[in-house]
Structure 1
Amino acid sequence: MAASFFFLRQLLKKLSKQTVNNCLGAISSFISAISRVSLNHEKDCSSRRITLVGLGALTSNVLQPRFASAEGKYEPFVDFTDGYSYVYPSDWRDFDFLGHDSAFKDRTAALQHVRVGFIPTNKNDIRDLGPMKEVIFDIVKNVYAAPTQKPTIFDMQERTVDGKNYWTFEYELESPNFARTAFATIAIGNGRYYTLVVGANQRRWSRVRNLLKVVADSFKILDIKPEVE
């Protein structure tokens, strides 16, 4: 099992971002469908987050309806290039998280954030990794937890959307002087192993748990269209 999850430890070795030209090209392909785009982000188009946040009518067709119409509490993030989408609290801001493709955090509580990363895999479905309980236990204990941390898993759930399986689990990592609780959603598609983690300081968890569960449950893999030569 440890060998099967060696590739998880490579999560920090993230693929490089697109160039400015690729970024702008992605905008032009669906600009007519954009109802609003944040114009106050930094002008560094090497980050696709600038152009993929807040796609309005277009994202309503991609995200599940109950997430796309969450009464202004959430904003959609859709990445057609890397093949995934999710929602995040509307008052969070984007930031760079080492080794991850996208990330957003609370404006005042930096440890309260969501991040998404992916790595290549030859698996076709998350179930190919093995039984859910064994796989999640191994991930939390041997990948997420540091040697000095005590891991605890509270809940595990599986859902199926458009033929793709997703595992979402709640866990806590406790250190001698600190504890953090989080939800993680993992799934496989497009030849990639995707991981979304959204969490907060243990002291704040009871207040934000329901808010962050919506984020974890909103993660969805989008089929990547092959490039036309």
Structure 2
Amino acid sequence: MASSLFWLSPPPTQLSKQTVTTCPAALSVAVSAISRDFSHCEEDYFIRRRMLIGLGTFTSNALLASFAPANEVTDMYKPFVDCTDGYSYVYPSDWREFDFLGHDSAFKDRVAALQHVRVGFIPTTKNDIRDLGPMQEVIFDIVKNVYAAPTQKPTIYDIQERTIDGKNYWTFEYDLESPGFTRTAFATLAIGNGRYYTLVVGANQRRWSRLRSLLKVVADSFKILDIKPAAV
């Protein structure tokens, strides 16, 4: 039986424009602070993600400063920056990296595996997420026909749009209800670098009330970083 979709959402929220720098600029202060330790591989620094995970409090603070709430403790998160594939975000500091089929990066809770964040991308000829069509219609179609299985009942609770350095991001909250089980998540969609990026971060609905604020920071932290075209 085909799934139906319920909207429990006020009109989409247009967030004010924020200023975020691109990858080299965002990391320049942190890189200079640790250049003595990594001077022998400075050329590889921006393309080796392992070196960019857990660089320490100084780096985390530099990356978190642009979006973390003023009352947020920055050591609750670690930054993930992929300058090769052109994106960055933060994840809870006690989560660990794991492989998620079809995705470029992923981190999960050490105990509750359903609490995780994952990022994937596919090529696109579109230049901006708005090129896909009206926001509500596009998100409705994605949740119903991509995220939800035929046996699941999807519900969308809220959708927001934000603009950072001319790039538009759509973030929405939704859940997928299965018989005896429901998972709730945030998703952030954006287009840049000739790629359609998707970040999804979620948890079991029973834990959602405790984790929602923590995971919203993750969803809102996603940024596209400008990358140079490959040399011909």
Common fold: TM-score over 0.5? yes
**Aligned CA distance change for structure 1 residues 138 and 226 (closer, same or farther; 3 Å):** same
Please tell me whether the aligned partners of residues 183 and 198 of structure 1 are also in contact (alpha carbons under 8 angstroms): yes
How many angstroms apart in 2 are the aligned matches of 1:53 and 1:35? 14
- Correspondence for 2:214: 211
- Deviations along 1:67-89, one digit per CA (max 9) or x if unpaired, are 39843010000000000000000
2:118 alignment counterpart: 115
Query: SS at 2:138's partner residue?
Result: helix
Runs of 5+ consecutive residues of structure 1 not aligned to the other structure: 1-29, 38-46
* 2:183 corresponding residue in structure 1: 180
Q: What is the match of residue 54 of structure 1?
A: 54
RMSD (CA atoms): 2.7
Q: Which residue is equivalent to 1:141?
A: 144
- Which residue of 2 is the match for residue 67 of structure 1? 68
Inter-partner Cα distance in structure 2 for 1:175 and 1:133 = 23
Q: Provide the rounded CA distance (Å) in 1 between the counterparts of 2:106 and 2:228.
A: 24
1:95 aligns with 2:98: yes
Closer, same or farther in 2 for the Cα pair 1:170/1:32, shift >3 Å? Answer: closer
Q: Structure 2 length normalisation: TM-score?
A: 0.75
Identity in percent: 76
Q: Specify the alignment match of 1:161 in structure 2.
A: 164
In structure 1, what residue type is equivalent to 2:78? E
Change (3 A) 1:228 1:64: farther
Gaps of 5+ in 2: 1-28, 38-46
- Give the match for residue 42 of structure 2: none
AA aligned to 1:50 is: R
Distance of 1:33 and 1:94 partners within structure 2: 26
Native 8 Å contact 1:117 1:194 kept in 2 = yes
Q: Check whether the contact 2:95–2:107 (CA below 8 A) recurs between aligned residues.
A: yes
One-letter identity of the residue aligned with 1:115: R
1:150 aligns with 2:120: no
Q: SS of the counterpart of 1:148? A: coil
Size of the aligned set, in residue pairs, is 192
Report the counterpart of residue 41 of structure 1 in structure 2: none
- C-alpha separation between the residues in 1 aligned to 2:77 and 2:120? 20
* TM-score using structure 1 length: 0.76
Q: 2:195 aligns with which of 192, 196, 208?
A: 192
User: Is structure 2 residue 88 aligned with structure 1 residue 85?
Assistant: yes
- Greater length-normalized contact order (CA 8 Å, ≥ 6 residues apart): 2
